[in-house]
Structure 1
Amino acid sequence: MIRTLAAAVFCFAAMQAQAAEVMLKGSFTQGGLVFGQAVPGATASLDGRPLRLTSDGRFIFGFGREAAPTATLSVTAPDGSVETRALEIAQRDYDIQRIDGIQKDYVSPPEEVLARIRADAAAAAKAREADRPETDFDSGFIWPAQGPISGVYGSQRILNGEPRQPHYGVDIAGPVGTPVMAPADGVVTLAHPEMYFSGATLIMDHGHGLSSSFLHLDKILVTEGQRVKQGEVVALMGKSGRVTGAHLDWRMNWHDERIDPALLVPPMPKTE
Structure 2
Amino acid sequence: MLPETILAHYTDAMKIQPVLKNGLVGALGAMLASYAGAQCVEVQGDPTEGGLIWAKVPPGSSVQLDDQDLDVLPNRYVVAAFHRDAPASSLLRIGDDCEYRLSVAQREYRIQRVEGVPQQTVTPPKEQLERIRRERELVAAAKAQLVERPDWLMQIDGAFVWPVQGRISGVYGSQRVYNGTPGSPHYGVDIAVPKGTPIYAPAAGLVTLAEPDLFYSGGTVILDHGYGLSSSFLHMSEVSARVGDELQPGDLIGAVGATGRATGPHLDWRMSWRDRRVDPQRLVPPMPVLTKTSTAQ
Please give the range of the TM-score, normalised by the shorter of the 2 chains: 0.7 to 0.9
Alpha-carbon distance in structure 1 between the residues aligned to 2:75 and 2:205: 21
Which residue type is aligned with residue 256 of structure 1? D
What's the CA shift for 1:56? 3.1
**Partner of 1:200 in structure 2?**
219
CA contact (8 A) 2:116 2:263 kept: no
CA 1:200/1:259 → structure 2, altered by over 3 Å: closer, same or farther? same
Determine which structure has more spread, i.e. the larger CA radius of gyration.
1
Alpha-carbon distance in structure 2 between the residues aligned to 1:74 and 1:156: 33
Alpha-carbon distance in structure 2 between the residues aligned to 1:143 and 1:208: 21
**Partner of 2:177 in structure 1?**
158
User: 256, 265, 285: which is aligned to 1:266?
Assistant: 285
What's the CA shift for 1:95? 0.5
What's the CA shift for 1:98? 5.3
Question: Aligned pair 1:24/2:14, yes or no?
Answer: no
CA contact (8 A) 1:31 1:259 kept: yes
Question: Aligned pair 1:256/2:242, yes or no?
Answer: no
Which residue type is aligned with residue 137 of structure 1? L
Question: Aligned pair 1:170/2:189, yes or no?
Answer: yes
**Partner of 1:145 in structure 2?**
164
Question: Aligned pair 1:75/2:86, yes or no?
Answer: no
Which residue type is aligned with residue 161 of structure 2? I
What's the CA shift for 1:150? 0.5
**Partner of 1:86 in structure 2?**
101
Q: SS at the partner of 2:131?
A: helix
CA 1:187/1:41 → structure 2, altered by over 3 Å: closer, same or farther? same
CA contact (8 A) 1:201 1:217 kept: yes
The alignment's C-alpha RMSD in Å is 2.3
Which residue type is aligned with residue 87 of structure 1? L
Which residue type is aligned with residue 206 of structure 1? H
Percentage of matched positions with identical amino acids = 44
Alpha-carbon distance in structure 2 between the residues aligned to 1:162 and 1:178: 31
Structure 2 unmatched ranges of 5 or more: 1-30, 292-297
CA contact (8 A) 2:39 2:98 kept: no
What's the CA shift for 1:181? 0.8
Q: SS at the partner of 2:216?
A: coil
**Partner of 2:210 in structure 1?**
191
Alpha-carbon distance in structure 1 between the residues aligned to 2:282 and 2:178: 28
Which residue type is aligned with residue 146 of structure 1? Q
Question: Aligned pair 1:111/2:130, yes or no?
Answer: no
Deviations along 1:127-167, whole A, 9 cap, x unmatched? 00022221212223111110000100011123466431111
How many residue pairs match? The answer is 255
Alpha-carbon distance in structure 2 between the residues aligned to 1:176 and 1:99: 20
Deviations along 1:105-136, whole A, 9 cap, x unmatched? 45311111111111111111110002222121
Query: Once structures 1 and 2 are overlaid, which stretch shifts more, 96-105 or 137-146?
Result: 96-105
Which residue type is aligned with residue 97 of structure 2? V
CA 1:104/1:230 → structure 2, altered by over 3 Å: closer, same or farther? closer
**Partner of 1:128 in structure 2?**
143
**Partner of 1:5 in structure 2?**
none
Which residue type is aligned with residue 256 of structure 2? M
**Partner of 2:5 in structure 1?**
none
Query: Once structures 1 and 2 are overlaid, which stretch shifts more, 157-166 or 42-51?
Result: 157-166
Q: SS at the partner of 2:98?
A: strand
What's the CA shift for 1:102? 8.2
Q: SS at the partner of 1:224?
A: coil
CA contact (8 A) 2:40 2:94 kept: no
TM-score, reference length from structure 1: 0.87
Which residue type is aligned with residue 153 of structure 2? F
Q: SS at the partner of 1:164?
A: strand
Which residue type is aligned with residue 265 of structure 1? V
Q: SS at the partner of 1:115?
A: helix
CA 1:127/1:48 → structure 2, altered by over 3 Å: closer, same or farther? same
Q: SS at the partner of 1:192?
A: strand
Alpha-carbon distance in structure 2 between the residues aligned to 1:175 and 1:137: 31
**Partner of 2:294 in structure 1?**
none
TM-score, reference length from structure 2: 0.80
